[in-house]
């Protein structure tokens, strides 16, 4: 099945978070949906033609390790050392075989003129999340359970996307208030 990739799908703010968010409604087993359940969707996200074989396994490994590490960090306020080996191994697998040079100031993904494999870009993006200032600004959307970086000035952003999740939450609150008010007048 081909998936629609709208701008809302990229509200995490960082490639690794947007990839972790390809599992929609992770916290609801009845409604959850994996946008990468079809490995062809991973190939659609790559800048170049996929190599046959393990690309899907590498991308999914980075995605799951990233989600596990940072979801726990958000909940507990610290990174769990026990989750780091899997995370670092997944990122190393994404970078293996890559000859790019990364991390130069202003060029975290290497030379912009040289295409980088999706799995390598994903690994670099995931590793960049380990910075203290980024970890402190990571959030989980209370509506859809997506991970996102709160870049608001006072670090008070609540939803991954105000136009989607924020409006849904506000509409739900309004509906509950109206229903409660109606029941109170009928009682």
Half-sphere exposure of 164 (CA within 13 A, CB side): 14
pTM of the prediction? 0.77
Residue 3 confidence (pLDDT): 47
* Cα dihedral across residues 25, 30, 31, 36: positive or negative: positive
d(CA 176, CA 171): 9
Residue 38 confidence (pLDDT): 80
The two tokens of residue 66 are: 């990233």
Per-residue pLDDT of the chain (187 residues), as tens digits, is: 444 545 545 566 789 999 999 888 888 888 888 888 887 777 665 544 445 456 788 999 999 999 999 999 999 988 999 999 999 999 999 998 877 777 777 776 777 777 788 888 899 999 999 988 889 999 998 888 889 999 888 988 887 877 667 676 677 777 678 887 778 788 7
Half-sphere exposure of 97 (CA within 13 A, CB side): 11
**Which domains, from first to last, does the chain contain?**
7-186 (1.10.3300)
d(CA 181, CA 177): 6
Phi-psi region of 174 (alpha: psi -120 to 50; beta: other; left: phi over 0): alpha
Residue 52 confidence (pLDDT): 47
Residue 70 confidence (pLDDT): 96
- Asked whether 50 and 93 are in contact (CB, 8 A), the reply is no
The two tokens of residue 104 are: 């130069």
User: Nearest Cα to 146, choosing from 59, 6, 38, 22?
Assistant: 22
- Asked whether 66 and 129 are in contact (CB, 8 A), the reply is yes
d(CA 158, CA 185): 33
- Asked whether 7 and 27 are in contact (CB, 8 A), the reply is no
d(CA 153, CA 2): 37
């Amino acid at each position: 099945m081909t998936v629609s990739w709208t701008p809302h799908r990229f509200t995490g703010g960082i490639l690794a978070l947007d990839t972790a968010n390809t599992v929609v409604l992770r916290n609801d087993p009845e409604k959850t949906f994996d946008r990468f359940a079809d490995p062809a969707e991973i190939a659609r996200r790559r800048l170049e033609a996929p190599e046959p074989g393990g690309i899907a396994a590498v991308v999914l490994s980075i995605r799951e390790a990233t989600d596990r590490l940072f979801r726990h960090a958000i909940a507990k306020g610290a990174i769990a050392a026990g989750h780091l080996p899997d995370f670092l191994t997944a990122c190393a697998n994404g970078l293996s075989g890559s000859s790019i040079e990364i991390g130069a100031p202003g060029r975290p993904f290497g030379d912009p003129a040289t295409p980088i494999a999706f799995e390598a870009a994903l690994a670099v993006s995931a590793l960049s999340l380990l910075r203290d200032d980024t970890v402190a600004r990571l959030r989980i959307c209370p509506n859809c359970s997506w991970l996102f970086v709160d870049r608001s000035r006072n670090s008070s952003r609540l939803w991954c996307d105000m136009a989607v999740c924020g409006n849904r939450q506000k509409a739900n609150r309004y509906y509950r208030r109206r229903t409660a008010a109606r029941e109170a007048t009928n009682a």
